[in-house]
Structure 1
């Protein structure tokens, strides 16, 4: 058996985590996951400030090709389905983004690999999300700039176009109002109601990425969103309290690792179910398998016990038996075959 290279282990690990998180994996997921393309430079590329992705990668074209070939072999072995996805730029003209300088390699970069067990509706939703046109982006510059359109130097926001930075007046965005980030419901509703909008970002030099500052939207859209938020403020406050309490006892980084390990051991387990099992078993102070020493170490036996516990309660009549007074040992004996059937199915790609 041929030994597994360090690069192959890194690619497979990044691909498995992406698949568990979002039900598909793309070459861009892998390249950012292994650190070859920093997220901040991906933003530059998406906003049209790089000719192609290869130009901002930290490795050579040949190394990128090696990673993509490893991903292709792994995805094929997992039975994943390939689908070529469009990548429009976050620019006014929505031009197609380029991954390489060579046309022959473009399709490999654009191929997303999705789970074969998705329903038609799930696949349609996922495809729509993958092909979604990105938000337009406006930048708050870290230093003074000269507008390539009018020559002014007093602008506080800019949009990059081929000729260079343009002030909001020159790109016809000066009628929009700024909505700071922080209120998720207000931002979502204002964006939905606004016919024209743009995300406002600022470059963070220390983190080498762009931080999201807020949104530019139409004034009327913001007014409508504020009215909607006032009408259901109490319900959203209660939901925020519940979510905050849940986050306080949830080890999110461990959940991601556990879900990826579940997917590795049980490739037929739906990704959202693997995540749910990880969240359930990873709660701090719960005393569950995921909080044991073996569980924290992702011991296969401990992970399997966590999966069995989920199947017992979610996919069999075990809870109904307990409610009806059936002794626990007897109930477990009755459902043993049901659990084995689910585990056998999940062990298949």
Structure 2
């Protein structure tokens, strides 16, 4: 770690006292000619400690501060000094905090706009998916078609409606969504699984019922 270009303040591991005013033990000190001095005696007592962790805040506070210092602590196991944060001027920290707050507010406004846009896109896509179901299965009750579409196309669900073929309203994807709904709603499939029936066997036992419902919906308009 290169500290040559910076004022370096040490967070000591042992009890140290200022060589000038004898104040101590010191939470922070600066070494001058190998002698510890408190921040007041080193003319750094007016600076505020900014812990590491927020990169943007640290960068802005450092840039705005005419006087600043790096705070380090010796790591025994790694045998090296590690940064703990900065000492910066109070006014500089206030400027940095205001700038970061403005950024956070801008990001929040952008997130809100994106959420509104995504919600509108989801409404349009769910309606299109429901219309595709109605076209393939005119006998499917309209409310059921909307329910199937909303379930299959939920953002982030990983369901068939969010797949590439689902977004393209591919016939196979739309049919798969309807078939899945019938399996869970109109057959004892879920009860079979809960009773310990292997999934493949449970699917085989309800397959005929599913195909019967699908045949009816394909041919019976409104029924």
User: What is the TM-score with the length of structure 1 in the denominator?
Assistant: 0.30
User: What is the TM-score with the length of structure 2 in the denominator?
Assistant: 0.46
Larger radius of gyration: 2
